Amino acid sequence: MPRDLLHDDAPSLLTRGYGFGRRIWRRVGAGARSAPMRLLGDDAMLVRGEEGVRAFYDDRLIARHGAMPGIVQETLFGHGSVHSLDGAEHRHRKATFVDVAYEDEQVARLLPLLEGEWRAEREAWLEGGTRSAYDAAVGALGRAIMRWAGLPGTPDAKTRWSARLAQIVDGFGVPYSPEYLLATANRLWSDRHAARLVEAVRAGELDARAGTALHEWSWHRDRAGNLLPARLAGVELQNSIRPMIAVARFVAFAAKALHEHPEWRTRIAQEVASRGSLVDGPLAVAFAQEVRRTSPFVPMLPGRAIADVELDGQRVPEGGRVVLDILGTNTDDASWDRPHEFDPERFLGVDFEQIAAFIPHGGADVATGHRCPGEKLAVAGLAAAVAAMSDPRLEISSAGLDVDRRRLPTKPASGGRVHRAGQAPSGCPFHR
C-alpha cells in the first residue's frame, strides 16, 4: 500500500467520528489554532477558533468548489447546489437564499406555524402519545417549514416527505451502511418531486405566492438571466427546507439537556406560562443556542486552498485542504468561558451572529460568506420545541439518552422519549 495512504487521516473520520478532531489536535500544543493532517492524499490543515474561522472563510485563500467529498455533496446537498459554488456565482445564488430565509419578516411568518405544530405535538404527548422528541420534531418542523415555503399537499404528505429528508440527513455520513443507499434513493425521489413542483409552477398549474421559497426558486435566474433547470431549482428548494428538518437532531439533544438540567425546564415552563406562547421566549432561545453550541452535529467543513495558507505555524500549499473544526470551535478553550459547561445564560441578551467562534451552521457573513441564511429559522424551531418539552405535565425518560459519538451524524439513541408525567414509557425496553 502506498505510504501516503497508510498515513492518511481520512479513514479515522469514519472510525472515530466526533473524536476525529481531538486526535488531530494532540499533534500540536495546547491552544494551537492549526494542526497538520493528510486528507484524501493531500496535505491538509485542521483549524479552529476565531483565527481558524477567519482564515477558512477568506475567499482569497479558500474555495469550496470540489472540496466536499462527492458522497456528501451529491447526497446531502444535491448536485450543483449553492454549497459547491464560489465567488460571484455563489453570491448571486446565495442572495435568493437570503431573501427567502434570512429576513426578519420571513422568520415572523414561520413563528405562528411553529406555535401551532408544537402545541399539537404537546397535546399528543399529554393525551398519551409516546413518540420521541426526534420523531415529533421531524413531523412538526417539516410541516411548518413546508407550509412556510408554500408547498402544496396534505399534512400527512408533508410528514412523509419530511421523513424522507430526515433520513437523507441521517444516512449521508455512513457510506458503509445500507442507510446510505436508502439516503441515495430518498435523494432521487426528492429531486424528482421538487422538480415537478417547480415545473408545475412554471406551467401555471400550481400557484406559488411571491416571497415563498417555492415561488423564488421556480423563477430564480442565474447571472446570465436564464432560469435554473427545474431539477437544480428543486435542489435549492430542498436546501431551503431540509436544514429545518435536520434541526430534529438538535431537538433530541435538547430533550437530553432538559432532562439533565431540570432547573432550566422549570424556568422555561414559567416563561411559557407568563408569555402564553411557545415561540420566541428569551430563555427558550438561549437554551436552544447552548444546545446548538455543545451538541455534536456537523463535525467539520472542508475547503480547498487556492493560495498558500499559513496559520499559527502550520502551512498548506495551494491545492491542499483546509478543514474547519466546527465542534472544536464551538467548545474552544480560547474562545469561550467555561466551554465544557452547559450554561444557556451565556446567550441571554446576545446577538449570536456577532460571536465569531459560534458556528453550528457555518461562520462568517450570511450574505457574502457560507453561513446558513436559515439559521434564525432553525433557532426559532428548536426554541419552540424546547418550550413544548418543558411543560411540567410531561416527563423525559432517562433511558436511551446515550450518544454514539463514532457515528456521523449522531443523536441520543432513543431520540429523547417524551410522555405524560406519571405514565410509564412504552416501546422497546432498550430504546425507552
Give the residue ranges of DSSP H helices in 73-103: 87-97
Average pLDDT of the residues in 7-20: 90
Domain ranges across the chain = 3-420
| Tens digits of residue pLDDT in 309-322 | 999 999 999 999 99
What pTM was computed for the model?
Answer: 0.94
pLDDT computed for residue 370 by the predictor = 72
Lowest mean pLDDT among 169-183, 262-276, 375-389: 169-183
Report the alpha-carbon distance of residue 130 to residue 314 in Å, rounded.
51
Report the alpha-carbon distance of residue 83 to residue 66 in Å, rounded.
10
- How is residue 254 written as a grid cell? 435538547
The fold for domain 3-420 equals Cytochrome p450 (1.10.630)
| Tens digits of residue pLDDT in 354-386 | 999 999 999 988 877 678 899 999 999 999 999
Cβ pair 61, 42 in contact under 8 A: no
Report the alpha-carbon distance of residue 21 to residue 37 in Å, rounded.
10
pLDDT computed for residue 426 by the predictor = 60
Report the alpha-carbon distance of residue 218 to residue 207 in Å, rounded.
11
Whether the per-residue pLDDT at 427 is higher than 90: the answer is no
pLDDT computed for residue 174 by the predictor = 84
pLDDT computed for residue 1 by the predictor = 30
Report the alpha-carbon distance of residue 369 to residue 371 in Å, rounded.
6
pLDDT computed for residue 428 by the predictor = 52
Residue 379 vs residue 432, higher pLDDT: 379
Confidence at 46, pLDDT banded by 50, 70, 90:
very high
Report the alpha-carbon distance of residue 352 to residue 292 in Å, rounded.
11
Q: Per mean pLDDT, which of 93-97, 113-117, 372-376 is the most reliable?
A: 113-117
DSSP secondary structure string for all residues of 135-169: HHHHHHHHHHHHHHTT--S-HHHHHHHHHHHHHHH
Quick one: DSSP state of residue 35?
E
